[in-house]
Structure 1
Amino acid sequence: MISTFLWLIVVWLMLWGSVDLGLVLLGAVVAAAILTLYPLPSIRFRMLARPHRLVGLGWYLVTDLVLSGVRVAWDALRYGPTVKTAVIAVPVLSDEDYVIASAANLLSLGPGKFVLQLDRRELVFYVYALGVRSDADVTRVRDEVVNLQRRVIRAFGAREEEPA
């Protein structure tokens, strides 16, 4: 709550483009009003509780960025404008909003695939993927998305949600 309050004051000062005592005090009033009128739901943020899993997730993302970039570049050079694409349904492994949003955003970060749509009711990601030419490629993309979700759940999710 304090960090959100301070962040709102910083944003207020950035909007005005200057810093003086009056603007800081007015920013504090505006921040307090916003947080009072529009309270944020409390979430349990577990990033600091599992730093080793967060580092593992970061390493996985860097590796995935490099491999995906190479794969997309190879497909673009090899097939040019005839690169095959697919929309693949992948099950969502968590029901927590922040875990789903984190997984979708991290998946869309790298080249070659992104979450096109999320069906919340059925818990399905529809993933758009480049370079899908066979059933084996579909399976590979689905496995990559599931693996990323598992890593996100291990890093941020509740202990009871962690996959075996």
Structure 2
Amino acid sequence: MSTNRPPRMTKGRSFVQQLVLVFFLVVLWVMLWDSVSLMHILSGIILALVVTRVFYLPPVVLSGRFNIIHALNYGLWFLYSLIHASVEVAWFAFRPRAVGAGSVIACDLRTSSDLLMTLVADTASLIPGSIIIDSDRAMGVLYLHVLDCDSQEKIISAKAQVYHIERLLILALGSHRDLAALKVNPDPIADEYGDVR
């Protein structure tokens, strides 16, 4: 007699994951319209259901953990970085000295989660002065263009910021595997550049 049955909660988890995906697609749809109305929400729900049923989407694997303290820490850090970088980029437009050359940098992330990789990429792109130009999902590498990044110190600083974003997100909602990867490699900059900081 075979006992190889699927877990009892698989369907329930699948439904919850589908519901989360639909919710975020509706939020994205409403944000694209830049106004909240009943028509936008209803059309977003219909469109999200069509997209999730008709098109193939890779499964969004949720870690099953969420730490509110680390999530608040991430939110406050992001708000501070957003304001600080906005002022810095605005200063580049007004200062008499020319802006230094930009650089394309590669950041080899510690997480293997598609969701966390996307959140790291989104966060890094939302902070003025850097934008994601490519990613290697299989290898977990993000490629960013960073403004005024013409020295090794600035390159190290830009990479350190991406790794800090990744660390904050792993602590907030990463899986136990991500947390273990964080412990194994707590400082990727030191591994890559040694003590040159």
TM-score, length basis structure 2: 0.62
1:14 to 2:39 alignment: yes
Instruction: Give the aligned partner of residue 169 of structure 2.
Output: 152
Shift of 1:17: 7.6
Aligned residues: 150
Instruction: Give the aligned partner of residue 78 of structure 1.
Output: 95
Shift of 1:160: 2.6
CA–CA separation in structure 2 for the residues paired with 1:81 and 1:140: 20
CA–CA separation in structure 2 for the residues paired with 1:68 and 1:15: 32
Instruction: Give the aligned partner of residue 104 of structure 2.
Output: 87
C-alpha distance after superposition, 1:59-104 (max 9, x if no partner):
1101111121122122222257644211111112211110101111
Unaligned runs of 5+ in 2: 1-14, 30-37, 184-197
- Secondary structure of the residue aligned to 2:95 is helix
Letter of the 1:74 partner, please give it. Answer: W
Distance 1:38-1:125 versus aligned 2 partners, 3 A rule: closer
Higher helix share: 1
Q: Please say if residues 90 and 145 of structure 1, whose CA atoms lie closer than 8 Å, have aligned partners that are also in contact.
A: yes
Equivalent positions of 1:1-164 (< 5 A) are 1=15, 3=19, 14=39, 41=59, 43-44=61-62, 46=64, 49-78=66-95, 82-162=99-179, 163-164=182-183
Sequence identity, in percent? 23
TM-score, length basis structure 1: 0.73
Which deviates more, 55-64 or 34-43? 34-43
Unaligned runs of 5+ in 1: 19-26
